[in-house]
Amino acid sequence: MRLTDFKVLTFDCYGTLIDWETGIINALRPLLKKNPVVERSRDEILASFARHETAQEAETPDMIYMELLGQVHRRLAEEWGIAASEADHHAFGGSVGEWPAFADSTASLSYLKQFHKLVILSNVDRKSFAESRKRLRVAFDAVYTAEDIGSYKPDLGNFRYMIGALRRSGHAECDILHIAQSLFHDHAPANAVGLRSVWIDRRNDAAGSGATPPPPAGVRYDFRFASMAELVEAHRDELRS
């Protein structure tokens, strides 16, 4: 199996192309500054975020992501015993557009666009992704968000929705390679629906799972790279060979 065997590359965005962990930490700084006496490590903050975001997505699968993030902020404030206003919750919910792209994302996508259709499957809403798209500076061939689908990954319905849409445009499952950082949100459900996948291990063997819950046992992937730049180099090597 080769990267160049596939016609369509489908991407998770946040954690894979957009550095959501840095974005989350930066957006939570105003809340954390309200209680400077208690120091929380980056890993502790991200693990708390992962727990509350996953729970909120399961409880309210049809809630728009901006609103859902506001609820996550509310839950974090309550857990940490920090007083926060509705404006604070709203500001965190609207922070997605400020989350930075990884340094290699734009160049990697521009290269891959020469050879493949590029598709986004994301847990955010359309408005939030529109802001992130400006940072990525590439024309995606299709974008499927949780707002479009009415549920959040790892729900298999999100992947089936994408597969169905791509099938209607003439692409079978065997044409699709899913590229993502989250073993929990993306690779486990990709396994379940029969999609091949690439793990972009942005955490590069760092301890813990960061802003995602731990993956289920037995999750698989077909390729593994520490960055999008490494994936591009592997793709170039295939073409040269």
Q: What is the DSSP string of the chain?
A: --GGG-SEEEE--BTTTB-HHHHHHHHHHHHHHT-TTS---HHHHHHHHHHHHHHHHHH-TTS-HHHHHHHHHHHHHHHHT----HHHHHHHHT-GGGSPBPTTHHHHHHHHTTTSEEEEEESS-HHHHHHHHHHH----SEEEEHHHHTS-TT-HHHHHHHHHHHHHTT--GGGEEEEES-IIIIIHHHHHHT-EEEEE-TTTT-SS-TTSPPPPTT---SEEESSHHHHHHHHHHHHH-
**What mean pLDDT, rounded, does the chain reach?**
96
Which pLDDT score, from 0 to 100, does residue 74 have? Answer: 98
Is the pLDDT assigned to residue 240 strictly greater than 80?
A: yes
Q: How many domains is the chain partitioned into structurally?
A: 2
Query: Which CATH number covers residue 43?
Result: 1.10.150.750
Q: What are phi and psi of 145, to 5 degrees?
A: -110, 165
9 and 52 both lie in a single domain: no
Which pLDDT score, from 0 to 100, does residue 205 have? Answer: 72
* Each residue's pLDDT tens digit, 13-31: 999 999 999 999 999 999 9
If you count them, how many residues does the chain have? 241
* Each residue's pLDDT tens digit, 36-66: 778 899 999 999 999 999 999 999 999 999 9
35 Cα distance to chain centroid: 29
Q: What are phi and psi of 201, to 5 degrees?
A: -85, 75
CA separation (Å) from 156 to 101, 143, 145?
27, 17, 14
Query: Which CATH number covers residue 177?
Result: 3.40.50.1000
Domain extent, residue 153, equals 3-19+100-240
174 and 202 both lie in a single domain: yes
Which pLDDT score, from 0 to 100, does residue 36 have? Answer: 78
Is the pLDDT assigned to residue 239 strictly greater than 80?
A: yes
**Residue that terminates a domain, selected from 30, 64, 98:** 98
Over residues 227-238, the mean pLDDT reads 98
CA separation for the pair 190, 160 (Å, rounded): 10
CA separation (Å) from 92 to 85, 86, 155, 185?
11, 10, 24, 22
Which pLDDT score, from 0 to 100, does residue 89 have? Answer: 98
208 Cα distance to chain centroid: 17
Just list the catalytic residues: 12
142 and 214 both lie in a single domain: yes
Which pLDDT score, from 0 to 100, does residue 235 have? Answer: 98
* Each residue's pLDDT tens digit, 176-208: 999 999 999 999 999 999 999 999 999 987 888
183's tokens: 């073993």
Cα dihedral 10, 158, 64, 124 in deg (nearest 10) = -20
177 and 137 both lie in a single domain: yes
**Residue that terminates a domain, selected from 60, 81, 98:** 98
Is the pLDDT assigned to residue 76 strictly greater than 80?
A: yes
Contacts of 236 (CB under 8 A, 6+ apart): none
87 and 108 both lie in a single domain: no
* Each residue's pLDDT tens digit, 130-183: 999 999 999 999 999 999 999 999 999 999 999 999 999 999 999 999 999 999
Query: Considering the entire predicted model, what is its pTM?
Result: 0.95
163 and 189 both lie in a single domain: yes
194 and 139 both lie in a single domain: yes
